[in-house]
Amino acid sequence: MVIEKGALQSVSKKDLKGFVSFTTPLNITKLGGRGSVFNNNELVKVIVTGNVNEIGSFAFKNCIELKIIIIEEGVKVIDDYAFNSCLNLNTIILPSSIEKIGKQAFSYCSSKLKIELPRSTAKIVIRSIPEGFRESFCEKRLIINDKPKLDIQGL
């Protein structure tokens, strides 16, 4: 695991051997900054704890096995392309603390992706989707729930 200036930069397959679930350490404030943190590992579920302020660009790029991401209250920023090419990502749970979502944050994700979010965060997510795709994306993928689940059982 590589941590620089409070940012978790990378977690290797060796660090995660035998694990399918990961919770961010409490001593970090950012995920990424130099590309994919988890780069094509075998994680199925990630919980981003509230001490993390920002999920950097491409932080989850190519996390092919990833199915569920739970982002806890406290996280404020999801940068451009943060979940790029997460081909099996089914569910992201967003908190009301989200203030910014970068462009194409959910590009090349599973067509089954559902984003659970509070009503207060909906406009922020919608603005991150390119205009030509907004209506169909939001209609099929957004689940507005003013009390999102903090955990999903069964994984």
Tens of pLDDT, residue by residue over 94-141, are 998 999 998 888 888 877 888 888 888 878 887 777 777 777 777 777
Is 143 a residue whose pLDDT tops 90?
no
Q: What is the pLDDT of residues 2-11, one digit of tens each?
A: 889 899 998 8
% of the chain at pLDDT higher than 90: 34
Q: How far is CA 74 from the centre of its chain?
A: 14
Give pLDDT, residue 146.
Answer: 65
Asked whether 28 and 56 are in contact (CB, 8 A), the reply is no
Q: What CATH number matches the domain at 2-144, 3.80.10.10, 2.70.70.10, 3.40.190.10, 3.30.70.270?
A: 3.80.10.10
With cut-offs at 50, 70 and 90, classify the pLDDT of residue 152: very low
Would you say residue 74 has pLDDT above 90? yes
HSE-up of 137 (CA within 13 Å, CB side)?
A: 19
pTM: 0.84
